[in-house]
Amino acid sequence: MEGTTLIQGRYRLLERIGRGGMGEVWRARDESLGRRVAVKCLRAGRSRGGGLDDELHQRFRREARVAASLQHRGVTVVHDFGDSEGTPFLVMELLEGLNLSQLLKENDGDPLPVADIWDIAQQICEALAYTHGQDIVHRDLKPANVMRLTDGTVKICDFGIAHLNQEPGFTARTPNAGAAMGTPPYMSPEQISGRTVDERSDLYSMGCVLYELATGAPPFDLEDTWSILIGHTETEPTPLRVVRPGLPEELDRMVLALLAKEPHDRPQGASEVSDWIQRARLDTGPLVPSPRGGPQELLPGWALGIRAGLAPGRLPRGRTPEPSPLSARWTLPRPGLEPHAAVLGALPTPATVEERHALGLSLGHNGRWAEAGELHQQVAAERAAALGPDHPETLSSRYELGFALSRQGRHAAALTEFEQVAAARERHFGATHAEVLDALQESAYVLDGLGRHEEAHRTYTAVLAAREASAGPDDPETLRCRHNLAFNLSGLGRLEESCRLSHEVAAVRARVLGENHPDTLSTRYEAAYALGRLGRWEEALAMYGLVADARARALGPDHPDTLAARYETGISLGRLGRSEEALALYRELAAARSRAQGVGHPETLRARHGIGVNLGRLGQWEEALVEARAVTALRAGTMGPSDPDTLVSLREVAVALGWLSRWEEALTIYRQVAAARDRVLGATHPDALTSGNDEAHCLEQLGRHTEATAVYHRVAQIRRSART
């Protein structure tokens, strides 16, 4: 591939120089400007639909968006960002130097000279003061993410999990998983415990970095990751001068202040730390940073996948081991310190099968279904070998494996697990045992996911009868089965029955659980959906409004569940011809989504799409065209040019052009949409057939009736062949 691959006709990949968890990094040449650059390409796992893993894809795009907004000598410069054949890429300046982890390694693991520590600290502070001034918190500051170039310049890299601090409810959590992220040896206590983080969390991480530069190891260089995390939250760090006598007292004081457990006990901003450093350097007299080794062309540590910090058990020279606050054996979390996802992701494999089973449950609880599934699969195999394939504990692991597979959309694999678990449990416990019914109900759920609605319906009906007989009609599991059955009836096209059952379940849940319980509101949402499909939009509007108001009171006006109900309210208003109200709602919704999830989030763009549609319904076609083009560009940039949602927005561009009598332009876009839908969805997909009719209608408007007739005939033939 070297020297041959050309991305977007401009960036020639010359040599792969790094590989990390998110991507590969290549030394490349910008053929347009004749300069050397670094190109980072996402190399994520594939999702069930064959596309890139959504979470990694989103994180990569977030890194591009955040990094591209920063212009400072202490931050890696981003030149360009795009998508090449479905693979996102990021073009950056090519850095010559070493990251701080490599710098320590080059120094044989010994700490750095004091002059170098002060110099690096000062430059990190300047870069952090700038990024924090842009309302951005890095959240993963560590030696591998700080480069020192051959000319002595220090640059912060990798904004892959950075967040815009102006977003309401800003926390150390990823948008999709609701999970803390970071690197354990450098995580602040508030990151570990899942509390809100701000710029003071970066200052804590900076303290960890400086501690390692000064002593050769991070402050809690313990035997296992869990002990490191407990060290951050519960143990005071050993003073630097105890580990390395002769260090300046002011450096010791400053680093320990940065490592305060509570954010309000630390310096309150990077500028404050910078002033502290300047005073300390004046007090100690001029210090000249030590000469560096020869230049080395490298990318940041995140690109190279280099593990920061010392390996477990290794200590810097001259440092005596100290007892760990915990044994080396992984232990389950105590109350008050929940296993957030970054903690879980960093943990070594627990010692016992039971602990690993519990860890798998925690991963699933945090939405990390792929990792949970892998762990449950391993545990199930070990339990089968030790206890037998039909032992209840083996079956419990296989049940959890099926659950993880179903939540990844791998319905066929999940069905195999659930059916085999149900059969084995039935042999042991009998057909109506609760655990048998659990497995059967989940098998019905994945049958629906496979489009096998009739089989799912038979299973749901049998499970519901057994649950009502054994647990009663008001039992939460009975109600959950009835809720799922209502969803199944909708899939079968039995909308009246679905609607009636949803209303019944909602009424019982309201009586048993409460009017505003999330389960009650979920069933009412389902009832509203069925009402809409029946064309009963007035009733649907009232139901969606009720759900939205209740969720706003319970969860907050900007909670995703609240916003989802408000979006459907807008759909109902539009269907009722109340486009002015729908337009106002979608404008409010787009603003709320932008605040909560960002301007490029798919749900934000759905709301903006609604703005364009309702502008058109009101006859404001020039404005509708502007909005449709903007949404199309954003969707193409974040989801890809051939994503179905992108194509929906592109079609709206053509619709607006047609209403503006710009039929030649509309025809070009209709044909572009039709070709993409044929390629992505298949020629028999309803959207692809709609595009064919769009093209024919456009040809008619241009007076090209013969061509229009040919297109209509082609579409009709495809419909007939699809039915047969």
Q: Catalytic site residues?
A: 140
Alpha carbon of 289 to those of 155, 213, 240, 244, 253: distances in Å? 16, 13, 20, 19, 21
User: By C-alpha distance, which of 496, 562, 561, 488 is closest to 533?
Assistant: 496
Dihedral sign for Cα 355, 359, 360, 361, please: positive
Residue written as tokens 């098998």? 443
655, containing H or E segment: helix 644-659
3-class secondary-structure state, position 506: helix
Angle at 707 between CA 702 and CA 708, to 5 degrees: 70
Cα–Cα distance, 61 to 643 (Å, whole number)? 16
Cα–Cα distance, 221 to 214 (Å, whole number)? 14
User: Which residues lie across from 426 on neighbouring strands?
Assistant: none
Distance of CA 300 to the CA centre of its chain: 23
Cα–Cα distance, 655 to 668 (Å, whole number)? 12
Cα–Cα distance, 609 to 528 (Å, whole number)? 22
Beta strands 23-30 and 136-137 are unpaired
Between the two ends of the chain, the Cα-to-Cα distance in Å is: 46
Cα–Cα distance, 88 to 467 (Å, whole number)? 49
Residue written as tokens 């991963």? 363
3-class secondary-structure state, position 141: coil
Cα–Cα distance, 322 to 238 (Å, whole number)? 10
Residue 598 phi/psi, 5-degree rounding, is 105, 155
HEC sequence for 516-564: CCHHHHHHHHHHHHHHHHCCCHHHHHHHHHHHHHHHHHHHCCCCHHHHH
Length of the chain: 724
Taking each continuous run of H as one helix and of E as one strand, the counts in the chain are 29, 11
Q: What is the CA radius of gyration of the chain?
A: 29
Q: Is 105 annotated as a binding residue?
A: no
> Residues with Cβ < 8 Å from 543, sequence gap 6 or more?
524, 525, 527, 528, 531
Half-sphere exposure of residue 633: CA atoms within 13 angstroms, side-chain side:
7
Half-sphere exposure of residue 32: CA atoms within 13 angstroms, side-chain side:
8
Which residues define the annotated binding site for ATP?
Answer: 40
